[in-house]
Amino acid sequence: MATMTYLQAISEGLKEEMRRDERVFIIGQDVGVYGGAFKVTDGMQKEFGEWRVIDAPLSETAIVGACTGAALGGMRPVAEMQFADFVSCAWDHLTTVSAKQYYRMGTPIPMTVRLPCGGGFSGGPFHSQMYDGYFAGCPGLKLVMPATPEDAKGMMIEAIRDPNPVLFFEHKHLYRRIKGEVPEGVYTVPFGKARVAREGADVTIVAWSAMVHVATEAAEQLAGEGIDVEVLDMRTIAPLDFEAIAKSVTKTSKAIVLYEDTKTGGFGGEISARIAEELFETLDAPVRRVATADCPIPFSPVLEKEVLPQTADVVEAVRALSAY
């Protein structure tokens, strides 16, 4: 085991799989000489060469298109979007071609698209979005949302090996703020298997990515008030481990879905609907959502905190649900 940041763990996952499999290559803007916008690929071009760590032109459509073609040809490409927001430029190719290729032709598309996502660092409306809700309803795509360094490394390796297009959401706010023990060498973390980040008996909080840490902070604070909160880290939302949600909600009878996408249209709404539809008889209170306000992410740090879900927002929601 080694102590790593979230960023280092992702980098290690990439390097481990590139050393193991020569078909793996990285392509993106400034990933080579510069080492990536956040330095995830720092030093990799020197180790693997410029044909396996490729500096691409400023065209996300070209990057995703090249990866789709390379995957069809038997390679295992990893594309980096400098910011998740920019993948919108490649929306048509990713959702119309890459996601549907296996359904149409039976040919796998083993490609990974890395998406540095989320707010919390005053990046403004073009560099802070959480795009999971946009893609969660697109059949053919897998959405990976790691919250810990250990999961980040293992799920990166799993993503590269997966025969489907995988969107790997890396929360920028976690890159250098979160550290943890990470196994050395090659290992994988399977998709579709949620993790109980904190056990509890009174209220379930369903979360993913950076919101897992917000939920845990709230749970620790509420423990002092005698409220025992269970935090469920979904890890992936496509595939979704609804069995884990059902097990936890059946135990606590109360559920909050915490997510960073906008409250309206975010994937947390789908989870809330399924809980209400399939677990209604186990509930002692309505399902509640805590999410980002329905507006662009402000540049101002003060306004950004007002828009994004904060620990205090979760604490307030849990208190209200407990008193229901």
Is residue 127 among the annotated active site residues?
A: yes
Final residue of a structural domain among 135, 152, 182: 182
The verdict on 152 and 271 lying in the same domain is no
The verdict on 215 and 125 lying in the same domain is no
Question: Cis omega before residue 125 (within 30°)?
Answer: no
Q: What is the CATH number of the domain that holds 315?
A: 3.40.50.920
Domain boundaries, position 281 = 195-322
Residue 187 lies in a domain: no
Final residue of a structural domain among 117, 152, 182: 182
Q: What is the CATH number of the domain that holds 44?
A: 3.40.50.970
Q: Of 276, 300, 305, which Cα lies nearest the Cα of 288?
A: 276
CB-side neighbour CA atoms (13 Å) of 130? 34
Residue 315 lies in a domain: yes
Residue 231 lies in a domain: yes
Final residue of a structural domain among 182, 204, 221: 182
The verdict on 173 and 203 lying in the same domain is no
What is the distance between the terminal CA atoms of the chain, rounded to a whole angstrom? 44
Three-state DSSP at 183 gives: coil
Residue 224 lies in a domain: yes
The verdict on 253 and 315 lying in the same domain is yes
The verdict on 26 and 156 lying in the same domain is yes
The verdict on 163 and 262 lying in the same domain is no
Output the pLDDT for position 98: 96
Residue 189 lies in a domain: no
What are the pLDDT tens digits along the chain (324 aa)?
899 999 999 999 999 999 999 999 999 999 999 999 999 999 999 999 999 999 999 999 999 999 999 999 999 999 999 999 999 999 999 999 999 999 999 999 999 999 999 998 888 999 999 989 999 999 999 999 999 999 999 999 999 999 999 999 999 999 999 999 999 999 999 999 999 999 999 999 999 999 999 999 999 999 999 999 999 999 999 999 999 999 999 999 999 999 999 999 999 999 999 999 999 999 999 999 999 999 999 999 999 999 999 999 999 999 999 999
The verdict on 176 and 279 lying in the same domain is no
The verdict on 207 and 143 lying in the same domain is no
Residue-wise DSSP of 82-107: SSGGGGGGGHHIIIIIITTHHHHH--
**Structural domain total, the chain:** 2
CB-side neighbour CA atoms (13 Å) of 153? 25
The verdict on 157 and 83 lying in the same domain is yes
Of 127, 171, 173, 213, the catalytic one is 127
The verdict on 272 and 158 lying in the same domain is no
pTM of the model: 0.96
Q: Give the Cα separation of 128 and 116 in Å (integer).
A: 9
User: What own/partner pairs with CB < 8 Å and gap ≥ 24 does 48-52 have?
Assistant: 48/18, 51/25, 52/18, 52/22, 52/24, 52/25, 52/26
The verdict on 157 and 209 lying in the same domain is no
In sequence order, the 6+-apart residues with CB closer than 8 A to the CB of 243 are none
Residue 237 lies in a domain: yes
Strands 236-238 and 142-144: antiparallel
The verdict on 224 and 304 lying in the same domain is yes
Residue 190 lies in a domain: no
Residue 257 lies in a domain: yes
